[in-house]
Chain A
Amino acid sequence: MKDKIKIASGQGFWGDLIDAPYVQVTKGKVDYLVMDYLAEVTMSILQKQKNRNPKLGYAKDIPELMKRILPVCQEKGTKIITNGGGVNPIACAEAVMEVAKNLGIKKLKIAVVLGDDIKERIDEIVNTGSGLNNMDTDEPIVTVKDKILSANVYFGALPIVEGLRAGADIVITGRTTDTGLTLAPMIYEFGWDKTNYDLMSAGTVAGHILECGAQSSGGNFLGNWQSIPNMAEVGFPIAEAYPNGEFIITKHPNTGGKVSFETVAEQLVYEIGDPEVYITPDCVADFTSIKLEDLGGDRVKVYNIKGKKATDFYKVSCSYASGFSASANLTYSWPQALSKAKAADEILRKRLKNLKLSFEEIRTEFIGYNSCHGPLSKEIAEDDINEIMLKVAVRSQDYDSIERFGKEIAPLILTGPPSVTGFAGGRPKPSEVVAYWPALIPKVLVKPEVKLIEL
Chain B
Amino acid sequence: MKIRLLEIAHGRSGDKGDAANIGIIAYDDKGYEIIKKHLSVSRVKKHFNEICFGEVERYELPNLRALNFLLHNTLGGGGTVSLKHDAQGKTLAAALLRMEIEI
Contacts and interface: CB of A to CB of B under 8 A. Distances in A.
Interface of A: 40-41, 136, 215, 220-223, 262, 265-276, 287-292, 322, 325, 327, 361, 363, 365, 367, 371-376, 391, 393-395, 433-436, 438
B83 A394 contact: yes
Secondary structure type dominating chain A contacts: mixed
Contact of A271 (B14, B57, B78, B85): B14
User: Which 5 A/B pairs are nearest by Cβ-Cβ distance?
Assistant: A269-B23, A393-B83, A223-B10, A363-B83, A371-B85
Contacts of B15: 271
Given A269-B12, A273-B16, A287-B61, A435 B83 contact: no
B36 to A, nearest CB: 14
Chain B interface residue bracket vs A: 35 or more
B21 A271 contact: yes
A438 B11 CA distance: 27
Given A40-B79, A269-B23, A272-B68, A367 B85 contact: yes
B63 A272 contact: no
B84 interface: yes
A275 B61 contact: yes
A222 B10 contact: yes
Contacts of B65: 265
A433 B66 contact: no
Contact of B63 (A223, A270, A291, A434): A291
A394 to B, nearest CB: 7
A435 B80 CA distance: 7
A288 B57 CA distance: 16
B68 to A, nearest CB: 5
Contacts of B97: 222
A374 B98 CA distance: 13
Contacts of A327: 83
A276 B51 CA distance: 27
B101 interface: no
Given A273-B57, A373-B91, 20 more contacts: A41-B79, A223-B27, A265-B25, A265-B65, A266-B23, A269-B12, A269-B25, A269-B66, A270-B21, A273-B68, A275-B68, A276-B59, A292-B64, A361-B83, A371-B86, A372-B95, A376-B48, A434-B80, A435-B79, A435-B80
B81 A433 contact: yes
B76 A363 contact: yes
Given A376-B95, A436-B17, A275 B83 contact: no
